[in-house]
């Protein structure tokens, strides 16, 4: 696993945590929309190595990146991360790296438009 210093987490990239929501329109019909839960979260976005991608793919898990944070963003199932450069990432896993509550990592798949 890639070790990331806290210094490298600050200002490298920023993402927004977006949560899909359902609401009713004026005719009481369901409408899907997105709610941004957290804005401008500092992070580091790292592509997975070919070796890591292959290891996950052999288990039918298709990841493209790991995103590191210096705080717990507490994502929920179905949340996504929107990067400032326009990329969107579906969160497939999230964990406290090394159990020390200093670095958290999201395992994600980049979504194509």
- Please give the Cα distance from 82 to 88 (Å, whole number): 5
Q: Which of 41-50, 53-62, 72-81, 91-100 has the lowest mean pLDDT?
A: 91-100
Structural domains of the chain, count: 1
3-state secondary structure of 53: helix
**pTM, two decimal places:** 0.84
Report if residue 1 sits inside a domain. no
- Assign residue 98 the CATH number of its domain: 2.40.10.270
Residue (of 58, 61, 63, 60) closest to 46 by Cα position: 63
- Please give the Cα distance from 90 to 105 (Å, whole number): 13
The pLDDT tens digits for 8-53 are 555 689 999 999 998 878 887 888 889 999 999 999 999 999 999 9
Which domain does 80 fall in, by range? Answer: 6-111
Report if residue 98 sits inside a domain. yes
Report if residue 23 sits inside a domain. yes
Helix, strand and coil in the chain, % to nearest 5: 15, 50, 35
């Amino acid at each position: 696993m890639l070790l990331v210093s806290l210094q490298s987490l600050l200002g490298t990239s920023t993402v927004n945590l977006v949560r899909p929501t359902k609401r009713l329109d004026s005719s009481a019909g369901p409408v899907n929309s997105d709610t941004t839960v957290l804005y401008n979260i500092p992070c580091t976005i790292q592509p997975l190595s070919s070796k890591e991608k292959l290891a996950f793919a052999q288990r039918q898990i298709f990841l493209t990146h790991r995103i590191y944070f210096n705080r717990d963003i507490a994502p929920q199932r179905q949340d996504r991360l929107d990067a400032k450069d326009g990329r969107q990432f579906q969160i497939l896993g999230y964990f406290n790296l090394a159990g020390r509550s200093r670095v958290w990592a999201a395992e994600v798949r980049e979504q194509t438009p």
